[in-house]
Amino acid sequence: MDDRYTTTGKTTTAVLEHEAKDEANHDPITGEPGAHPLGTGAGAVGGAAAGAAVGGVVGGPVGAMIGAAVGGVAGGLTGKGVAEAVNPTEEDAYWRKTYSTRPYAANRTYEELAPAYRYGWESKVRHADRPWNDVEGDLERGWDKAKANSKLGWHEAKDATRDAWHRVERALPGDADHDGR
């Protein structure tokens, strides 16, 4: 059986179509493209913890349970909002186009620096309310796992990671981490 077919005037294969659907990252609830499970999850965990703490103080154990549920939902929605403010495709395109203007990029290809940029924008989503200086140590410890196949050490990746972090920070509304950016 031939797995080639035409869609929107372009000939493609079922494998390519499947890959395109995977890359759309559909929301499991709404089916809309562009789901942000990391931001939603991080927000939900933070919101649940905060809600449980406040609810526990005000209403005891029952208040803690209600606070955790309400805080989890509110935090999940907030986290999703922050994550949606970051479009990985746009970030990748921006850094691919401009990386060579950065001093740390001398004698490096975009492919070498791409994991560091990705780590920066993804980390800012996870730590939206924290300034760079507070998370830098955590990011350094997490780099070996996050870098995938990159051969860069943290000392070589740090500046690109910080650049991507601050670019996302400037794009987010407000100043959640109170550092003036």
Strand partners, 174: none
pTM above 0.75, yes or no: no
Q: Please, which pLDDT band fits residue 2 given cuts at 50, 70 and 90? A: very low
Q: Please, which pLDDT band fits residue 108 given cuts at 50, 70 and 90? A: very high
- Say what the pLDDT of residue 76 is: 52
- Say what the pLDDT of residue 171 is: 82
Q: Does position 97 have pLDDT exceeding 70, yes or no?
A: yes
Q: Please, which pLDDT band fits residue 5 given cuts at 50, 70 and 90? A: very low
What residue spans define the domains of the chain?
36-84, 87-171
Distances (CA, A) of 124 to 13, 100, 136: 37, 22, 11
Provide the percentage of residues in the chain whose pLDDT is more than 90: 39
Q: Does position 133 have pLDDT exceeding 50, yes or no?
A: yes
The H-assigned helical ranges of the chain are: 14-23, 37-84, 88-98, 110-126, 132-146, 154-171
